[in-house]
Amino acid sequence: MTHTLHRLGDPARSRGDFVVLAMAAQGFNHVRAGERLARILRILERHGPVNLGDDSRGGVFTGFSVQELVEGAHDRSYMAAVFGSRRQLEGALKELKEADLGISIVVSGELSEVFAAAEAVGLRPHTVHLSLGVWGKRELLPDDEVLEIASMCGHGMISCRHVEEVRDKVRAGKMSPEDAARALARACTCGIFNPERAARVLERRRD
């Protein structure tokens, strides 16, 4: 899924940001996929994600409980989780491999880290998608710090102006980086935004 590929920022500072997506292939294995996707969501939950959601409905920061997401899983659900460490990612992938539910699993993150995690649990990636970055008149874009945060919502649901607003509040001491990150996360309905990474970026602004 390409909407998880375009996260911007220095790779050295963006470690600890792994997105896992699970979805059925419509027309191939989608019949009764909802039951399997619900099981996958439970597996992802067990490994301590920093965000969790169903792209077709919403996520834990948009007002849904994990139980509601599980009960509402259907054949067209796109289950998503964000992990803050490679250890958590490896644990989730290991359990997903053992469950062998016949559903496609997509992992996005810093390439060497993702490949190392896959190798650690005995998996070999089937396909690799790469983002070629941003082309054109980059001078018209917001600054890199804003883009690093806003690009974590691949559907563009997090406004750059909103990022600028909460960043100013953090800098002024009117909002903590963690509260600002959670406020931003509420706009990302698919659940791939990483509030921990956003808080780290905003913490640099406060410093």
Query: Helix, strand or coil for residue 201?
Result: helix
Ranges of the chain whose pLDDT falls below 50: none
Position 60 scores a pLDDT of: 97
Q: Where in the chain is the domain with CATH 3.30.70?
A: 2-120
- Cβ atoms of residues 9 and 200 within 8 Å: no
Checking 138-144 for CB contacts under 8 A at 24+ apart, the result is: 144/8, 144/9
The CA-based angle 56-166-190, given to 5 degrees, is 10
Tokens found for residue 155: 């559907």
State the angle between helix axes of 195-206 and 160-171 in degrees (0 to 180), rounded to the nearest 10.
Answer: 50
- Residue percentage of the chain with pLDDT more than 90: 80
How many whole angstroms separate alpha carbon 119 and alpha carbon 92?
13
Q: Which residues contact 181 (CB under 8 A, 6 or more apart)?
A: 195, 196, 198, 199, 202
Please count the other Cβ atoms lying within 10 Å of the Cβ belonging to residue 46: 12
What the block records as the tokens of 138 is: 């980059």
> 43 by DSSP, 3-state: which?
helix
The one-letter amino acid code at 101 reads L
pTM: 0.93
User: What is the domain class of 2-120 according to CATH?
Assistant: alpha beta
pLDDT of residue 164: 97
In angstroms, the CA 77 to CA 69 distance is 10
Cβ within 8 Å of residue 177, ≥6 positions away: 170, 198, 199, 200, 202, 203, 205, 206
Sign, CA dihedral 121-123-124-130, equals negative
What's the pLDDT tens digit per position in 10-41? Answer: 877 777 999 999 999 877 777 789 999 999 99
DSSP-derived pairing of the beta strands 104-108 and 78-83: unpaired
Q: Which pLDDT belongs to residue 194? A: 97
The pLDDT assigned to 207 comes to 59
The beta-strand segments (E) located in 9-141 are: 18-23, 51-54, 58-59, 78-83, 104-108
Report the pLDDT value the prediction gives residue 1, as an integer from 0 to 100. Answer: 55
